[in-house]
DNA sequence: TTAAGTGCAAAATCTTTGCAAATGT
DNA sequence: ACATTTGCAAAGATTTTGCACTTAA
C-alpha cells in the first residue's frame, strides 16, 4: 500500500473517531481502488482471507454508520458500497448523485457529474432525498460488445 | 373474495398462460389490496399459512418473470412487490414511475402521477431505464406525527 | 491500562432445490 | 391423461450474535 494513501485512509478513520486497524485500512483501500461500488463478496475475494468475514461485515456497517461509505443495492438486491462524498456525516448522507447499474456486468457507477432533476412532491408527502438509478449498459460492456461484432 | 375480483385475477393469470390456483389468486388479491408495495414476509403474514412459504416465493418469482408484478427494494434492501402497469410484458417492464419510500414506516408507494425527469447520459453509457426513488415521510406518518404534537 | 476491535464458532435469517403428491386444463 | 403446481424436508446462502483474545491509543 502506498504511503500517502495510507495517510489519507488513516485520516478518514481518525476523523470519525475510529481506531486505525489493518482490516479497516484494507477495506478502505479496496473500496477506493475500484471505480464501481463493491459488494461484500467482492471485497472478501479481493482482500483475501487476511481478515475475517465477520470483521468485514462489521467494518462495512460501522463505515456506513459513520458516513464513510454509502450502501447501494444492485439489480439483484445485493448490497454494494462506495465511498461517500466528504460532506456526509454520521446522521445525514449527501450522496444524491445518479447511480448507474449495468444490466450486463451488474456494476454500479456513482455518476457525480450528472445534475439531479427536480421531483414534484405529491400532497401529504415530504421528500428528504431523491435517489436516481439509471439502468443500462456501461461503457466497458459497450466496447466489449462493439469489439465482438467487428 | 369478491366474484368480480376473482374474474379479474383469473384473467391476469390466463393472459400469462399460468394455471389458476388458490395460492396465485391469494397472492394477487393480497398485493392488489394494499396501496403500498408488499414484501414476502408481509404477504406471508396477511395470507396466513393457507399457502406454503416456498410456494409464495415461487409465485412471486413467476409473477415477476411474467411481468405481473415488479420488484422494488425497500430502504433495508428487502424485496417488495407491486402490480405492474398493464403494458408490462414478460421480457420488458414498463414501471418507470417514482417509488416513494417512507423512512418512518418503510412503506413504498408507486407514484404513477409524477412525471419522470430527463437524465442526461454520460458518454460511453447507454440508459434503458431510469428508476427514481424519493425518500421521505409519507402522508400517513405525517398525519400521525401532527396528531401526536397537537 | 483499558476501551475498542478482531476472530472463531454458532445461531438466526432468508432463499432455493429436489422430489413425491396433488391439481388444473 | 399429463404437464404444471404445490408442500415438505433439506440444503445453500447471507448476515448477525456471543464471547474470549488481541490491539491501538
Least CB-CB distance to A139: which of B124, B133, B134? B124
Q: Euclidean distance between the first and final Cα of chain A, in Å? A: 40
- Phi/psi at A5 (nearest 5 deg)? -65, -45
Residue B14 burial class via C-beta count within 10 angstroms: exposed 0-12, middle 13-18, buried 19 and up: exposed
Report the run of H or E that residue B150 belongs to, with start and end. Answer: none
- Whole-number Å distance between alpha carbons of B120 and B137: 28
| Predicted TM-score (pTM) of this structure | 0.88
Neighbours of A17 (CB within 10 A): 8
- How far apart are the CA of A22 and the nearest CA of chain B, in angstroms? 28
Return the SS3 of A39. Answer: strand
- How far apart are the CA of A101 and the nearest CA of chain B, in angstroms? 9
Looking at every residue in chain B, the average pLDDT score rounds to: 88
Evaluate if the CB of B61 falls below 7 Å from strand C.
Answer: yes
Evaluate if the CB of A58 falls below 7 Å from strand C.
Answer: yes
Least CB-CB distance to A131: which of B128, B135, B138? B135
B85, HSE (Cβ side, Cα atoms, 13 Å): 11
* Separation of A115 CA and D3 C1' (Å): 53
Each residue's pLDDT tens digit, A89-135: 555 655 577 899 999 999 999 887 777 777 888 899 999 988 889 99
Each residue's pLDDT tens digit, B85-138: 655 555 565 657 789 999 999 999 988 777 777 788 889 999 998 888 999 999
Report the run of H or E that residue A136 belongs to, with start and end. Answer: strand A126-137
**Alpha helices (runs of H) in B33-97, residue ranges in sequence order:** 40-47, 53-66
Neighbours of B11 (CB within 10 A): 11
Report the run of H or E that residue A72 belongs to, with start and end. Answer: strand A69-73
Q: Is B32 on the interface with A (CB under 8 A)?
A: no
Give, in order, the Cα–Cα distances in Å from B40 to each of B17, B24, B52, B71. Answer: 23, 14, 12, 11
Evaluate if the CB of A51 falls below 7 Å from strand C.
Answer: yes
Which runs of E-coded beta strand occur in chain B?
A: 38-39, 69-73, 79-83, 98-102, 108-111, 126-137
Please report where in the chains the cell 390466463 appears, as a residue. B14
Amino acid at each position: 500500500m502506498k504511503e500517502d494513501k495510507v495517510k489519507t485512509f488513516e485520516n478518514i478513520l481518525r476523523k470519525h473517531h475510529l481506531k486505525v486497524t489493518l482490516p479497516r485500512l484494507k477495506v478502505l483501500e479496496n473500496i477506493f481502488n475500484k471505480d464501481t461500488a463493491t459488494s461484500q463478496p467482492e471485497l472478501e475475494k479481493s482482500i483475501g482471507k487476511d481478515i475475517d468475514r465477520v470483521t468485514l461485515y462489521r467494518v462495512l456497517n460501522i463505515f456506513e454508520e459513520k458516513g464513510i461509505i454509502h450502501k447501494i443495492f444492485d439489480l439483484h438486491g445485493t448490497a454494494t458500497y462506495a465511498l461517500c462524498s466528504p460532506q456526509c456525516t454520521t446522521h445525514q448522507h449527501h450522496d444524491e448523485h445518479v447511480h448507474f447499474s449495468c444490466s450486463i456486468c451488474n456494476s454500479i457507477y456513482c455518476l457525480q457529474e450528472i445534475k439531479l432533476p427536480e421531483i414534484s412532491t405529491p400532497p401529504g408527502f415530504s421528500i428528504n432525498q431523491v435517489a436516481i438509478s439509471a439502468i443500462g449498459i456501461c461503457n466497458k460492456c459497450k466496447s466489449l460488445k462493439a469489439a465482438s461484432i467487428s
